[in-house]
Homo-oligomer: A and B are copies of this chain.
Amino acid sequence: MDPMKIVERQAEPTPSRILMLVMDGLGDLPRYGDGLTPLAAGSKPHLDLLAKDGCCGRFDPVGPGITPGSGPGHLGLFGYDPTEYEIGRGVLSAVGIDFALRPGDVAARFNFCTLGLDGNISDRRAGRISTEENRRLVARLRQIPVPSGVEIFIETEAEHRGALIVRGDKLGHRLADTDPQRTGVPPLRVKALDAASRPTAKVVAAFVDAARKELATEPLANGILLRGFDSLPKIPSLSERFRLRPACIATYPMYRGLARLVGMAMPPAPPSLAEFPAAVRAAREGHDFLFVHVKYTDKAGEDGDFERKVAVVEEVDRLLPDLIGDGFEVVVVTADHSTPVALKAHSWHPVPGLLWAPGRVFRDPVTVFSETACIGGALGRMPLRFLLAEALAAAGKLAKYGA
């Protein structure tokens, strides 16, 4: 049995508080020459102090060799086995624009596309129209009447991308993609993949036809392509599983959405990094698990910008004393996945992590926080979901198992 099932059973509420600070895509590779990673190269006295007084390790979000998307990475952080709860593309799109998806809603990603006079797709992305243009078109689509008992939400993501959500009673979500993933052919027809999804297919097919009529006068974006139909997976909340009262401090909708999926409270997003400490202080009341998400390390990694990634680490480090204050018994600092500067993309390398809880964790010989130093840490290398178990134990939130 997965030991996390035992963790669930033994979890008990306490007043002690856990801060989980996630620097998105923090993990990196040593560069040639000095062998430093951005985390190792930065001046970050506060993170180093936490590492020195705490214990460190390395964590696989899904498993060795597996590069996680944001969904699986965060499920791992929150103590879930990411292979047990898969989040479909459509759900992630809805969640990624902070759409409050309800159980039973059916969500799909859509692209505006260009259709030729013959009805075939000539451009799957409608010339990558601007987000502003997308909003104008979405306003048109929102005027399409829908059958009674059903609601359809059309939401702009960015450029040619958006999310379509169908809300109604007993709507199955097993629909085939209408995006054929190539040009020169017509969009595929809306098709249910099981009996329960036939009513959904009927509603969506009618909407797609109506959208085509509505957009017929548009020069570029005169059609839509749909893919990744899915409903919210039945994910038990952090409160149900571990009896936590969690809250999320994050700026980007995607991460707020992922936190919402596991039942986190959602105070307003702080507008900038400098506002994070105040947001954390405000959220401490009534919550014993604070998930704090910093996006900019990942962006720097994706851009291949070593110096900028260093600068983000240093900026977070400067905020750290104010962020923690005297409000937390346990602090975790880690990442949802690695985004090495040299690869400019998510990667499969384990993420570094530190766990600080005075008198409660094994003070190992690690004295600085870096991927290389973490190799010698007391936490070893383990699946990321177990880091939450270690944090809960350090916070005194797990009762003894067995007599």
Q: Which residues of B contact A371 (CB under 8 A)?
A: 362
The docked-state distance in angstroms from the alpha carbon of A9 to that of B69 is 14
The docked-state distance in angstroms from the alpha carbon of A67 to that of B6 is 10
A59 to chain B, nearest CB (A): 10
Of the candidates B30, B67, B82, B88, which one forms a contact with A400 in the assembled complex, judged by CB atoms under 8 Å apart? B67
Kindly specify which of A18-26, A244-252, A320-328, A387-395 makes contact with the partner chain. Answer: A387-395
A362 to chain B, nearest CB (A): 6
Q: Which residues of B contact A58 (CB under 8 A)?
A: 378, 380
Q: Which residues of B contact A82 (CB under 8 A)?
A: 401-402
Asked if A72 and B401 sit within 8 Å, CB to CB, the answer is yes
Give the contact-size bracket for chain A: 35 or more
Of the candidates B1, B88, B380, which one forms a contact with A381 in the assembled complex, judged by CB atoms under 8 Å apart? B380
Asked if B402 and A87 sit within 8 Å, CB to CB, the answer is yes
Q: Does A382 contact B (CB under 8 A)?
A: yes
Asked if A3 and B398 sit within 8 Å, CB to CB, the answer is no
Q: Which residues of B contact A15 (CB under 8 A)?
A: none
Asked if A386 and B63 sit within 8 Å, CB to CB, the answer is yes
Residue in chain B with minimal CB distance to A342: B359
Number of copies: 2
Residue in chain B with minimal CB distance to A388: B65
Q: Does A260 contact B (CB under 8 A)?
A: no
Q: Does A84 contact B (CB under 8 A)?
A: yes
Q: Which residues of B contact A361 (CB under 8 A)?
A: 29
Q: Does A216 contact B (CB under 8 A)?
A: no
Q: Does A117 contact B (CB under 8 A)?
A: no
The docked-state distance in angstroms from the alpha carbon of A65 to that of B398 is 8
Q: Which residues of B contact A64 (CB under 8 A)?
A: 3, 379, 382, 386-387, 389-390, 393
Of the candidates B60, B376, B402, which one forms a contact with A86 in the assembled complex, judged by CB atoms under 8 Å apart? B402
Q: Which residues of B contact A347 (CB under 8 A)?
A: 393
Q: Does A92 contact B (CB under 8 A)?
A: yes
Q: Does A222 contact B (CB under 8 A)?
A: no
The docked-state distance in angstroms from the alpha carbon of A3 to that of B384 is 13
Q: Does A43 contact B (CB under 8 A)?
A: no
Q: Does A5 contact B (CB under 8 A)?
A: yes
* A83-B1, A364-B375, A380-B58 known; A66-B342 Cβ under 8 A: no
A binding-site residues for B, Cβ under 8 Å = 1, 3-7, 10, 29-30, 35, 58, 60, 62-72, 81-84, 86-89, 92, 228, 342-343, 345-349, 359-365, 371-372, 375-382, 386-393, 398-403
